[in-house]
Structure 1
């Protein structure tokens, strides 16, 4: 009897194009990761909250990381999947593919004045798109580019440009489209009203597609292979963490920290300051999630490193662990502003409670508690919007290697924190989508990687002490907001 191998049983190439670098994996359903490659990206942080990157650097990093992963694997792949940054935008020529501007990174704040002009429409936009009015999202940056840089070509999120350069297609997945503030949250199509408000009515926008399915083929990595998986990075990690049921949540600790909670087949527009957005669309069916953001996590660690306080992320535990507590120091790491649930991107960070006895360890501990306190505030907002508390939090990302940060997180959440054994959840999530794109009958539960915690952190302090620490952090945030009226 002749047996036929399902296309989804073969290895796939998964590429995670992130803020500070690109990671590529060759993933085999049976053997796991059989090849990996990385390539650095260096965004430029400029005065006034400007953050930009050369688009060519993004494309080169994708190709280089992918080729390195394939070289290490030493065998062909059936398809490729691509995860992207979400809110990073640029203008480009659709005929030649040539960039017409730099890429404005998701952290960039230059469109703040444009958002101020639209303030009277903030609630209308939030209801239409699920997103608050903030320059973090793509549409304000797109409109700013049109107003200040160029009217030529098209202006899109970075994924549409990368996909076009790889395959010639002009598409974006539904979840990435949902990060623009131009997508109607209910029917998952471009909103004429949102486009009108942003002055983008005449724009040529990419076709909105499912997260899994054939998009085109590429020879960028060598032999021709189909591109069959597309998703914004945090939602890809959500899928890899198997957070597929309403009420479950994950947090990814990367350049920023991003907490997402599943809400199922309908959007939940809460009142707690969270984003309601598309988790993914598969087979024409949309799942939704609540999303909360911390703008600076690993980027705050990098800031301390640049100042010489620590030598790098590997110093968090030895330096912070050298002291028993933060010594009365409170760090609000709003180095790129505060996102959910406050939405005060104009704020700057604060470091208070300093004394002559303050050392590097106190500052490091205060940073860990500051990041953890923001994530705890997001978890509280999720619980309020869903009408019930979370029972645990699944976490991934580079900073989960810090025992100090993860224990601080469990303490302030008063919940178990389950650290994923998957070190590259975003890439593994988009690998699962690439497999589904090859084989639409493949269930998500079968395509997603097996999930297990590498470590589980239980709270070591009581609820009263946790509440007191959170109250101290929130008092520091309130003081910041009082000093900087919106």
Structure 2
């Protein structure tokens, strides 16, 4: 990335030491070496593909996760050809595993955030849903870490500790630190959202009261040191991936929002220094904790975005994400096809991970372009549902939406998003917002004299998409999608504990 695309404020330029920022994601790990004066001076990447299987299985070999972090980080440092002063690590949030705290050896595979095998367990905990929402801000759902942790304890092993993947990676990198940041702790459904500490009541509900849990730390500050990337380097930045992207895009004021289009799509909106427990189906969670002060956000998820594109690719309809625009633009509309891409269920605001996707309105004249258009519209329509839920909970509509992630390269998706949202969509000029966010936090943790404003990259969108259709047409198109979702909900009863 050219240095001109990454500009920091003057206070950050005075400390010109590069940092290594690592984003351990769902299917790969990316790493950047970031200099406040020269921008990104080194990059690296390594695959970490999950395995999918029957009964909602989604998991990855922990050795592959660790190897991808080491490989990507070392590539970036070698590419930069100079040492780094600190390391920041972003993580997937809800991916969990059991491991031996004495040796660091994994005792299970890493159970991914998309894994749904804890659905029967969650059905049995349905009577505690409202209590857990009040305590933790999260509904009972296999997406979050605690149900998967409890499932591991019931089905796989009682040995060792069971944590989110960041605690294990940090332990391996530093040779012993046992920590998690406050925002990642908030993704477990075991964190008291108001006290920002582990909740004894939530632990009891999930049968995890006897577990040894990591120490909760701020997103910026030293937690240990690693020799994995040359010399002894402090680890000074930790944050869950979506919150790191939120930080990088300077979504720091209440009411502002961003959406990241990756394997899934994730919309987060700032709520300031107190949690907002709304009624719209969004979750309330920690955005980050800095200097002991907690910021909160509302969070909504679309489980399948790029993963739905990969599914369409696997069917041979397109050859990859690069085909979205040329194939989708070959037709003027979806030709009456409606696609609800619930390929891993529906998240907020419905919270029905048991649902399957649907494609309706097919005819002999349906072509690849119509299917692409329908998929793009299905992804965008779900994001609109999240934005509307934010507006309901905050009492005011969003004025616009900042976006990042690989799928933002699709002009068709971004224009469709602006059309259905009826708001401008600003595409980040920074292609790796998650890594840039945790890199900024690593700098903040390294130099206490820096301020938040001094480390956040200056926001400069690469493109702004304005709506090209009127509100009435947008409402009609959204109405068709909502009717398709309602049909899915009507014909699929919620899971029960006995299923």
Task: State the TM-score, normalized to the length of structure 2.
Answer: 0.96
Aligned counterpart, 1:377:
385
Q: Could you tell me how far 1:47 is from its partner in structure 2?
A: 1.3
Q: Deviations over 1:430-486 (max 9, x none)?
A: 000000001123111110111110000000000000000000000000000111011
Q: Deviations over 1:271-300 (max 9, x none)?
A: 000010000000000000000000000000
Q: Is 2:9 the partner of 1:30?
A: no
For the 8 Å contact 1:7–1:438, the answer to whether it is kept is: no
Q: Is 2:489 the partner of 1:481?
A: yes
Aligned counterpart, 2:497:
none
Aligned counterpart, 1:304:
312
For the 8 Å contact 1:394–1:420, the answer to whether it is kept is: yes
Pairing of 1:57-456 with structure 2 (within 5 A): 57-167=64-174, 168-456=176-464
Q: Deviations over 1:7-47 (max 9, x none)?
A: 94300000000001000000000110000000011100101
The structure 1 segments of at least 4 consecutive aligned residues displaced by more than 6 Å after TM superposition are none
Q: Distance in 1 between matches of 2:259 and 2:448?
A: 28
Q: Distance in 2 between matches of 1:305 and 1:41?
A: 19
Q: Distance in 2 between matches of 1:289 and 1:232?
A: 13
Q: What SS is found at the alignment partner of 1:15?
A: strand
Q: Deviations over 1:320-378 (max 9, x none)?
A: 01000000000000000000000010000000000000000000000000000000000
Q: Distance in 1 between matches of 2:460 and 2:173?
A: 34
Q: Distance in 2 between matches of 1:230 and 1:117?
A: 33
For the 8 Å contact 1:250–1:260, the answer to whether it is kept is: yes
Q: What SS is found at the alignment partner of 2:26?
A: coil
Q: Could you tell me how far 1:6 is from its partner in structure 2?
A: 9.0
Q: Deviations over 1:58-109 (max 9, x none)?
A: 0000000000000000001100000000000000000010000001000000
Q: Distance in 2 between matches of 1:6 and 1:446?
A: 8
Q: Distance in 2 between matches of 1:281 and 1:57?
A: 30
Q: What SS is found at the alignment partner of 1:389?
A: coil
Q: What SS is found at the alignment partner of 1:48?
A: helix
Q: Distance in 1 between matches of 2:458 and 2:46?
A: 27
Q: How well do the aligned residues superpose, as a CA RMSD in angstroms?
A: 0.9
Q: Deviations over 1:402-451 (max 9, x none)?
A: 00000000000000000000000000000000000011231111101111
Q: Distance in 1 between matches of 2:376 and 2:55?
A: 26
Q: Distance in 2 between matches of 1:303 and 1:40?
A: 18
Q: Deviations over 1:213-235 (max 9, x none)?
A: 00100011122100000000000
Change (3 A) 1:449 1:477: same
For the 8 Å contact 2:259–2:268, the answer to whether it is kept is: yes
Q: What SS is found at the alignment partner of 2:192?
A: coil
Aligned counterpart, 2:6:
none
Q: Deviations over 1:147-166 (max 9, x none)?
A: 11000000000000000000
Count residues in correspondence.
Answer: 482
Gaps of 5+ in 2: 1-11, 495-499
For the 8 Å contact 1:7–1:78, the answer to whether it is kept is: no
